[in-house]
Amino acid sequence: MKNETPRPIRLKDYKPPSFLVDTVALDVALDPAHTRVKSRLKMRPNPAAAETGKLQLDGENLELEEVRINGTVVPRSSYEVIPSALILPGMPQERFSLDIVTHVNPDANKALQGLYRSRGIFCTQCEAQGFRRITYFLDRPDVLAKYTTRIEADPELAPVLLSNGNPLERGTAERGKRHYAVWKDPHPKPCYLFALVGGNLSPVASTFRTRSGREVDLRIYVEPGKEDRCAWAMDALKRSMRWDEERFGLEYDLDVFNIVAVSDFNMGAMENKGLNIFNDRLILASPATATDAIYEAIESVVAHEYFHNWTGNRITCRDWFQLCLKEGLTVFRDQEFSADERSRTVQRIADVRQLRTHQFPEDAGPLAHPVRPESYIEINNFYTATVYEKGAELCRMIETIVGREGFRAGMDLYFERHDGEAATVEQFVKCFEDANGCDLKQFRTWYSQAGTPELACALSWDSETKSAALTVEQVLPPTPGEEAKHPLHLPLKVGLISGNGQDIELNLKGAGPLADGVLNVTKPRQTFTFLDVPSRPVPSLLRGLSAPARLKVDLSDGDLEFLLANDSDLFNRWQAANDYAMRTLLRIVEARRSGKRSVRGTGFANALAASVANDGLEAAYRAELLRLPTELDIARELARDVDPEGIFRARRQLLKLVGETLGDVLEDIYQADGDDDRFSPDATSAGRRALRNAALTLLTARGRPADKERLLRHYQSATNMTDASHALFLLAAAGGTDAGDALGDFYARWKDDHLVIDTWFVAQAIAPSATTLQRVRALTKHPLFALTAPNKVRALIGSFASMNPRQFNRPDGGGYNFAVEQVLAIDKFNPQVAARLLGSFRSWRGLEPGRRKEAKRALSRLVKAEGLSRDAIEIATKILE
């Protein structure tokens, strides 16, 4: 079988469904290899459809037993079964009921879409198109129905039986050999929100009283023995519920809210109505097993999935092109939640880092697509940083343009108009226009145009008129299939800082005082004039990254030092540190390339020392200042002729210099904030640990004997996983006997914990040493590794390919060949995970010629392989094009 590029699905071809489904009654008899699914659909022709004679139901990997219409068996000769569908011609033109009996094999399902088993637990994943692997259905988000689900199973194998909505009934059958539970969900939903779970699980229970006084039963179901690791997730859930009431006026709408943690899961978590299913790494946490980063991720993912109850579930998407309608908006909401719960500035820095690391390169490479794509081959490939992170930035920009209150008014109108519907981006944006009486016509271009705009800014000051002129030019680089671009409407938040370090009050010529500092940039080139500027100011531009753009502005090292010391906007102060670090690193890379060793980076190191010593700033923020740009950041900035080895060495050089220059400050930080004996995962405590660990990293980079001892002690005396894993990564990166000892110790301690042991895989996969590839290869044969477990694949292979640029990009091409081999092996049973792994090749064209040739060779081998999935074909061909 040769790989043909499958036909794309296009937004412009959208047609309403030919039939509607009012109710779905499922009766599922769970069995590991032979699960029987009976489905009774109450249906009717869609008055809005052009053609309603033929009914085509989606279905994949199903064994069909029987079809009945209004109770009468349909003879086999009267319908057609193809690999992707069940086709019934000549349907009734009034209401009818359709009964379908199918069989599926959960144990054989390693794609982890549809019904499968994870460590013995039956569970489902239906988004985006998994429901069609459970039964024949109109598997599209604009078909909304009310579901009743009866689940039946062997009570020993599956004592707990869960589905969406509220519990209705339970009982036993076959003299206790079977038992069953019935669940009823009163809210109409698309089938991608369906879920079912059966297995031996232990609940951790709590309750929440909604603003209007309803008691909601909250339950988190986990593997027996893990109950003591659920407290943080439960706490995060309650805080999310409260926050959504307070910030958006949104209350929960069922009697129960269940979360189930499973080990084998393609993604992080899923918002199924009333029954969220989570990757267990995003639920389970204790001080000894989880890092602060994991605690933070649990908080934000629990919030994210909970927030979908309104943005995604109550109002869903008309079609998958509108994915950002639920994902971008819900990411924006979870970011805001975290900002309110933690530090707003530090949260914004983290979100911007995420955007720049994942979305900017996507937008600049072969996989670039608009936030609302126009076509796709495999929808699973479009759960991207662009849809999620840039999608969230578009919501944030709307908020910046209409203001916090205007945004709330628009959201209120959105729920008023579209609750219970499958909506479009167009309808969403319209709500903000109508609620605020503003025009977002030009703003809509953000949804349909790919690429990161560049904002070239220049400020001049006129000593005679005492005015400053800011010229802003939009540069819109072309992206695949989109040569000419339209100018965008960007909110540009600015400040002008006078020589004494104070913000100048902005008085915009022709508009007056500019309290929030937001300029509306709409033209390709535009000049804004500020009056009453007594002396030459230093501009602080694109504050808080008020638009997802790249800023180009000519600032001297001195200007950056000034901003780093004085900017009242703490985000931009961090940005100045980051820009200064980046330009220093680029100079070092360039100097080393041309054989010079003269560039050291002393200016940057001194400026950083002064700002980090300021203990009036919160610890988490100071930790951010100390984090130098990553190798990936530097590669992205260089964009062309990238030599990962040179980048690695340049960065190591600067790290060492910063460690040496800041030595005393860093030692003070390290000593002052000793390990607390009582661990608390709150943001302030986590910030202290982050600062101390950042200091440790830089001190270690000096490489003195005392530094090595400090690091060893840090590992040995750690009383929580944050400190232990931080030290483990540093030790593993340094190599040698200390690394071997620490890894051995970690293994002995955690080998029976399937979550914690992933840290052991990661530590080895990201070590920059030349022996890493060989080690990673050997680890794929380790008894605790499994290619069928996505968490293991991400820990070992994923982190090697995406977090170890030096070894993944080995000049001999060994890293590429290894990754391609693994992608090919995984693609045979789990295309979604395979295609994601392939994404680590997306920037291959920017590599220096030698590595570029090797990467291309590996990718070409991949696309020639037989039987490649649609998922992998789509990514591979785009990357190679």
**Residue with smaller CB distance to ligand BES, 305 or 874:** 305
To the nearest whole angstrom, how small is the minimum distance from the Cβ of residue 414 to ligand BES?
Answer: 19
Residue 703 gets the label, from left (phi > 0), alpha (psi -120 to 50) or beta, of left
**Residue with smaller CB distance to ligand BES, 268 or 287:** 268
To the nearest whole angstrom, how small is the minimum distance from the Cβ of residue 135 to ligand BES?
Answer: 18
**Residue with smaller CB distance to ligand BES, 62 or 833:** 833
- State the binding partner of 216 from Zn ion, ligand BES, none, CB within 5 to 8 A by kind: none
- Subset of residues 301 to 340 that bind Zn ion, contact rule: CB under 5 A: 327, 330
Residue the block writes with tokens 């995003």:
282
User: How big is the chain by its Cα radius of gyration, in Å?
Assistant: 28
- State the binding partner of 338 from Zn ion, ligand BES, none, CB within 5 to 8 A by kind: none
Q: DSSP code of 847?
A: B
Q: What are phi and psi of 147, to 5 degrees?
A: -110, 140
**Alpha carbon distance 862, 856 (integer Å):** 10
Bridge partners for 21 per DSSP: 43
- State the binding partner of 270 from Zn ion, ligand BES, none, CB within 5 to 8 A by kind: ligand BES
**Residue with smaller CB distance to ligand BES, 28 or 270:** 270
- The CB-nearest residue to ligand BES is 268
**Residue with smaller CB distance to ligand BES, 152 or 280:** 280
**Residue with smaller CB distance to Zn ion, 60 or 327:** 327
CB 582 within 8 A of CB 486: no
**Residue with smaller CB distance to Zn ion, 145 or 301:** 301
Give how far Cα 166 sits from Cα of 26, 46, 122, 169, 493, Å: 15, 29, 19, 10, 47
To the nearest whole angstrom, how small is the minimum distance from the Cβ of residue 279 to ligand BES?
Answer: 7
DSSP helix, strand, coil percent of the chain (3-state; round to 5): 45, 20, 35
To the nearest whole angstrom, how small is the minimum distance from the Cβ of residue 277 to Zn ion?
Answer: 13
Task: Work out the angle at residue 15's Cα, subtended by the Cα atoms of residues 75 and 448, and round it to the nearest 5 degrees.
Answer: 145
Residues lying near ligand BES in the complex (CB under 6 A) are found at 127-128, 267-271, 301, 304-305, 308, 327, 331, 380, 383, 388
**Alpha carbon distance 279, 269 (integer Å):** 6
Compute how many residues bind Zn ion; rule: CB under 5 A: 2
User: Among candidates 514, 471, 498, 516, which has minimal Cα distance to 563?
Assistant: 498
CB 398 within 8 A of CB 407: yes
To the nearest whole angstrom, how small is the minimum distance from the Cβ of residue 351 to Zn ion?
Answer: 15
Reply yes or no: is the peptide bond before residue 724 cis, omega within 30 of 0: no
To the nearest whole angstrom, how small is the minimum distance from the Cβ of residue 278 to ligand BES?
Answer: 9
**Residue with smaller CB distance to ligand BES, 185 or 296:** 296
User: Among candidates 341, 404, 345, which has minimal Cα distance to 568?
Assistant: 345
- The total of other beta-carbon atoms located within 10 Å of residue 484's CB is 6
**Residue with smaller CB distance to ligand BES, 383 or 621:** 383
Say which of 223, 271, 299, 305 is annotated catalytic.
305
**Residue with smaller CB distance to ligand BES, 112 or 181:** 112
To the nearest whole angstrom, how small is the minimum distance from the Cβ of residue 92 to ligand BES?
Answer: 34
To the nearest whole angstrom, how small is the minimum distance from the Cβ of residue 23 to Zn ion?
Answer: 27
At residue 548, the 3 state secondary structure works out as: coil
Nearest 10 degrees: Cα torsion 479, 481, 487, 491: -50
- State the binding partner of 791 from Zn ion, ligand BES, none, CB within 5 to 8 A by kind: none
Give the tokens for residue 740: 């071997």
Classify residue 357 as exposed, middle or buried by CB count within 10 Å of its CB (0-12, 13-18, 19+): middle
User: Among candidates 17, 21, 13, which has minimal Cα distance to 39?
Assistant: 21
CB 163 within 8 A of CB 156: no
To the nearest whole angstrom, how small is the minimum distance from the Cβ of residue 832 to ligand BES?
Answer: 8
b/e per residue, 363-386, with b = 16+ CB within 10 A? bbbbbbbbbbbeebbbbbbbbbbb
Q: What are phi and psi of 322, to 5 degrees?
A: -90, 15
Largest CA distance in the chain: 96
**Alpha carbon distance 686, 673 (integer Å):** 11
Number of residues that this document lists for the chain = 881
Q: DSSP code of 583?
A: H
Catalytic annotation present for 305 = yes
- State the binding partner of 689 from Zn ion, ligand BES, none, CB within 5 to 8 A by kind: none
Residue the block writes with tokens 């984090």:
627
To the nearest whole angstrom, how small is the minimum distance from the Cβ of residue 491 to ligand BES?
Answer: 24
Q: E-strand spans in 313-416? A: 316-317, 375-376
Residues identified as active-site: 305
Binding site for Zn ion (CB under 5 A): 327, 330
